[in-house]
């Protein structure tokens, strides 16, 4: 027999009470750690999302509801939730609430790395046209961030920028649990935000980024992938990404050939 509206409401209330109790317990555990209260609440809620207390797309308690269960001010709760939003773990919408980020909301990594048309100033379309995931024993600037390893996981994508030029995006990982990406169908990775996917699937959000922008002559393989002559001078953006506790997450290199448009880094 289908549940009545009253039965459904009672079940939802029971589930909400359980999650509120769980949040109180997680926060109590974090309260022993040093640091401001907003960071402790941030870590408590991150742990709950990671462990499945709230599912992707699920609505979180309101800011006021959280203050009723925890000894925190509204400003502290809002600061914590805003931190979660800034790191892509939740989305916050005025008059709708706060929701756990869903896989349907995954965006390309070029959300923070945009090309603007030199004539119109509008954001240019970006589409992945090739992807490869492989093991590599090569060392490079990623070694300094990820540490010396026998092998790294390398994920490479060629991106088509509005049918005008191509860029090459390389991610390097060392964490063993991310190596399961070798078993993923390429089509499942080709056109999504890699760092956001790593966050949602493995509970490893991108917390901080360290950028270095330089110019370099493009070698044969890179030049071929980008459709330019070897030795062409291009831009090279190296991004060291760290996760919770400042642990290294990934080294991300983006190689860009000469073009006439504008590059906006958010």
CA 44 to CA 50: how far, in whole Å? 10
CA 170 to CA 237: how far, in whole Å? 10
CA 8 to CA 13: how far, in whole Å? 9
* Topology (CATH) of 5-104: Arc Repressor Mutant, subunit A (1.10.10)
What pLDDT does residue 8 have? 42
Q: Residue 178: which residues within 8 A CB-CB, separation 6 or more?
A: 153, 198, 202, 204
What pLDDT does residue 164 have? 96
- CATH 3.40.1410.10 occupies which residues in the chain? 106-265
The token pair that represents 254 in the structure block: 């983006």
pLDDT per position as a tens digit, 137-158: 999 999 999 999 999 999 999 9
CA 167 to CA 126: how far, in whole Å? 10
List the CATH code of the domain at 106-265. Answer: 3.40.1410.10
CA distances from 16 to 8, 63, 111, 129, 141 (A): 12, 14, 34, 44, 47
CA 117 to CA 113: how far, in whole Å? 13
pLDDT per position as a tens digit, 49-62: 877 788 888 999 99
- CATH 1.10.10.10 occupies which residues in the chain? 5-104
CA 9 to CA 220: how far, in whole Å? 63
């Amino acid at each position: 027999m289908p549940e009545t509206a009253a039965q459904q409401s009672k079940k939802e209330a029971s589930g909400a009470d359980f999650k509120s109790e769980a949040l109180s317990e997680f926060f109590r555990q974090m309260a022993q750690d040093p640091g401001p209260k907003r960071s402790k609440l941030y870590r408590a809620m991150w742990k709950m999302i990671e462990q499945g207390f709230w599912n992707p797309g699920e609505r979180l308690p309101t800011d006021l509801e959280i203050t009723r269960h925890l000894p925190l001010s509204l400003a502290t709760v809002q600061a914590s939730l805003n931190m979660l939003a800034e790191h892509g773990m939740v989305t916050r919408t005025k008059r709708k609430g706060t929701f756990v980020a869903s896989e349907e909301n995954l965006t390309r990594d070029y959300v923070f790395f945009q090309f603007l048309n030199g004539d119109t100033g509008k954001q240019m379309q970006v589409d992945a046209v090739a992807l490869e995931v492989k093991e590599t024993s090569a060392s490079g600037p990623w070694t300094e961030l990820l540490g010396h390893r026998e092998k790294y996981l390398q994920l490479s994508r060629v991106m088509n920028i509005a049918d005008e030029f191509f860029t090459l995006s390389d991610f390097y990982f060392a964490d063993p649990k991310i190596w399961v990406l070798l078993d993923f169908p390429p089509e499942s990775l080709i056109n999504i935000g890699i760092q956001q996917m790593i966050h949602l699937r493995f509970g490893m959000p991108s917390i901080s980024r360290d950028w270095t922008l330089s110019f370099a002559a493009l070698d044969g393989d890179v030049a071929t992938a980008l459709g330019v002559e070897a030795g062409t001078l291009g831009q090279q953006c190296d991004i060291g990404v760290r996760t919770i506790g400042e642990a290294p997450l990934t080294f991300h290199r983006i190689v860009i050939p000469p073009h006439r448009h504008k590059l906006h880094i958010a």
